[in-house]
């Protein structure tokens, strides 16, 4: 869905609400939310054989090479054809592992035609030593076709480790600056003007330049694709967690409005059922967005070496690391007295002549909005505590 289409749907929602057409408003809100959450994002990962493309694909998706659906990795070319790898939690986001450029099967001159360049939103060109002529040829062809590309220098952790062992007076920042400058000069010699190179370790995404890469991609993507990228990103910084929280917060008003629209239906009890259903679905999205589901937490424990139990110790929300069910939501909501009172008042308002339905709608909007805001705040705080715990930092937020 592009910006124009989004604007049209939002105008239809506004018009329906102004005309008190709650049914049409609810239908358009649901259509809007479905479209927003299913915007496709296709990311091409390419480079020469053995540069670490498949490892990057797995790291970006938050999975290990041993997991089901992982891209196969190895020291020789393991990608023999264009292979899609959907994100495990956001299937609208797909990373495409492309064959190494310059192989006999995929010569540089015919590479883009072979891989079907038109379906990709942008290209990430990866190398593990120096970018070569084939990489530059590819970048130039991508540019001619109006697509974005980004140079990623992989396996930086290996370089830092080797330099640290070989130098008496090792300085990490100096080493990183030298690697970056060497890559930039090499690309300039091959004809790339003002190249930007991101230094990345697929095993330690929170280090080096991955955060800068994320910021650059987000800035240069079309607006309607940015959230798709953001939610699929692993939580490698507190800033990404806060960005996710802000993006999720902006959608709460639509869920609350949907709840209010259903409250206009003059059937006792139906609004409460729908409210709880909405809260269950949205809360589940929050848990996955912040990586607080059990598989994500276990994966984070494995990759960081922090025991799973230690991560669980810093989590305060009763929704994290659990399957979100109606019974669980009702139990948690009941612990918030004012919210329960608001939902009960909503049902009571239905029996008030003339203004009853309008009052019920107002209470429905308020209670749903407040519940989702509260859940979002708590889960975002938990995500920050988990992130800090994995870095050995103070976990107070």
Cα 284 to Cα 294: distance, rounded to the nearest angstrom: 12
Q: Which residues of 283-296 are buried (b: 16+ CB within 10 A; e: fewer)?
A: bbbbbbbbbbbeeb
Model confidence band, residue 290 (pLDDT cutoffs 50, 70, 90): very high
| pLDDT, tens only, 311-361 | 999 999 999 988 888 888 888 877 765 454 455 454 555 555 545 545 566
DSSP lists the bridge partners of residue 96 as 44, 84
Tokens of residue 196, six digits: 């930007």
Question: Which pLDDT score is estimated for 194?
Answer: 85
| pLDDT, tens only, 209-226 | 999 999 999 999 988 899
DSSP lists the bridge partners of residue 123 as 44, 149
Helices (H), 123-237: 133-144, 156-166, 172-189, 210-220, 223-232
Q: Which residues contact 111 (CB under 8 A, 6 or more apart)?
A: 46, 101, 138, 141
**pLDDT, the chain, mean:** 80
Q: Is the dihedral of CA 195, 201, 202, 205 positive or negative?
A: negative
Question: Which pLDDT score is estimated for 28?
Answer: 65
Tell me how far apart the 2 most distant CA atoms of the chain are, in Å. Answer: 84
Q: Is 185 helix (H, G, I), strand (E, B) or coil?
A: helix
Query: Which of 26-40, 200-214, 343-357 is least confident?
Result: 343-357
């Amino acid at each position: 869905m592009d910006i124009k289409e989004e604007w049209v749907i939002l105008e239809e929602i506004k018009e329906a609400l102004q005309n008190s057409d709650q049914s049409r408003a609810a239908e358009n809100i649901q259509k809007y939310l479905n479209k927003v959450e299913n915007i496709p994002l296709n990311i091409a990962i390419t480079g020469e054989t053995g540069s670490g493309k498949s490892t990057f694909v797995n790291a970006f998706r938050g999975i290990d090479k041993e997991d089901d659906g992982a891209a196969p990795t190895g020291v020789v070319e393991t990608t023999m054809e264009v292979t899609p790898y959907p994100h495990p939690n956001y299937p609208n986001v797909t990373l495409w592992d492309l064959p190494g450029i310059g192989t006999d099967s995929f010569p540089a001159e015919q590479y883009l035609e072979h891989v079907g360049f038109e379906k990709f939103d942008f290209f990430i060109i990866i190398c593990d030593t120096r970018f070569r002529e084939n990489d530059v040829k590819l970048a130039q062809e991508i540019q001619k076709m109006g697509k974005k590309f980004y140079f990623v220098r992989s396996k930086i952790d290996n370089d830092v480790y080797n330099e640290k062992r070989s130098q008496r007076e090792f300085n990490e920042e100096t080493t990183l600056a030298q690697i970056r400058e060497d890559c930039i000069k090499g690309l300039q010699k091959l004809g790339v003007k003002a190249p930007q190179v991101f230094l990345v370790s697929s095993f330690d995404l929170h280090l080096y330049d991955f955060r800068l890469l994320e910021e650059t991609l987000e800035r240069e993507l079309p607006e309607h694709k940015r959230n798709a990228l953001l939610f699929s990103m692993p939580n490698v910084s507190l800033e990404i967690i806060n960005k996710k929280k802000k993006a999720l917060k902006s959608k709460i008003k639509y869920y609350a409005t949907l709840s209010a629209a259903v409250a206009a239906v003059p059937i006792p009890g139906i609004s409460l059922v729908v409210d709880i259903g909405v809260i269950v679905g949205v809360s589940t999205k929050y848990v996955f967005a912040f990586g607080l589901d059990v598989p994500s937490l276990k994966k984070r424990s494995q990759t960081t070496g922090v025991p799973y139990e230690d991560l669980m110790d810093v989590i305060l929300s009763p929704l994290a690391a659990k399957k979100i069910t109606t019974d669980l939501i009702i139990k948690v909501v009941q612990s918030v007295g004012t919210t329960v009172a608001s939902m009960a008042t909503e049902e009571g308002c239905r029996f008030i002549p003339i203004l009853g339905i309008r009052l019920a709608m107002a209470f429905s909007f308020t209670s749903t909005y407040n519940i989702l805001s509260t859940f979002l705040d708590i889960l975002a705080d938990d995500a920050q505590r988990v992130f800090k715990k994995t870095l050995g930092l103070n976990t107070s937020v």
